[in-house]
Structure 1
Amino acid sequence: MSILTIILSVLLPPLAVFLQHGIGKQFLISVILTILGWVPGVIHALIVNN
């Protein structure tokens, strides 16, 4: 995982997932988790992009 991916995962989790996986199931899950709370979105983005 690159430094840019880590920074984007912390600041904008859905964008980091989108750049790695495109629009799909993981992106939708990331958006929903980020809306529900920033921390779950960050955790999901870090796990998915790892």
Structure 2
Amino acid sequence: MGAVSAILLVLITILVPPIGVYAVAGCGADLFINICLTILGYLPGHLHAFYVEYVYYDRREQAREGRFVDQRAPGVYSDRIQTGGQGYGTIVQQPGAA
């Protein structure tokens, strides 16, 4: 299912780049930047959108493998993108361990 959603996201991004950014980053600075870049020119909007999506899927794959990147990706302002849609997790206390 992950490959199908990624392909669908790429197709949507080809047609309207801000919708692709909104799908992975939500409403925030990355979406605003992409809207401005798309207004300035269709190509800059695409480049930014595909970069945001690449960072999102790359960080998501690294999180699945148990590797967490400690540096922020340049030009990406959404924490959701920086973590690949995952939180860095919390330590769960086991019962009776207090």
TM-score, with structure 1 as normaliser:
0.92
* Matching residue's letter, 2:19: L
Question: Over residues 5-42 of structure 1, what are the superposed CA-to-partner deviations in whole Å (9 max), with x where a residue is unaligned?
Answer: 11111110000000111100100000000000001001
Unaligned runs of 5+ in 1: none
- Report percent identity of matched pairs: 38
Q: Aligned partners of 2:29 and 2:36: how far apart in 1?
A: 11
RMSD across aligned C-alpha pairs, in angstroms? 1.1
Q: Which of residues 15, 18, 24 in structure 2 aligns to 1:14?
A: 18
Q: Larger Cα Rg: Structure 1 or Structure 2?
A: 2
The match for 2:82 is none
Total equivalences in the alignment:
50
TM-score, with structure 2 as normaliser:
0.49
Decide which structure has greater helix share: 1
> Displaced runs of 4+ in structure 1, greater than 4 A?
none
The match for 2:34 is 30
Unaligned runs of 5+ in 2: 55-98
The higher relative CO (CA closer than 8 Å, separation ≥ 6) is in 1
Q: Which of residues 36, 41, 46 in structure 2 aligns to 1:42?
A: 46
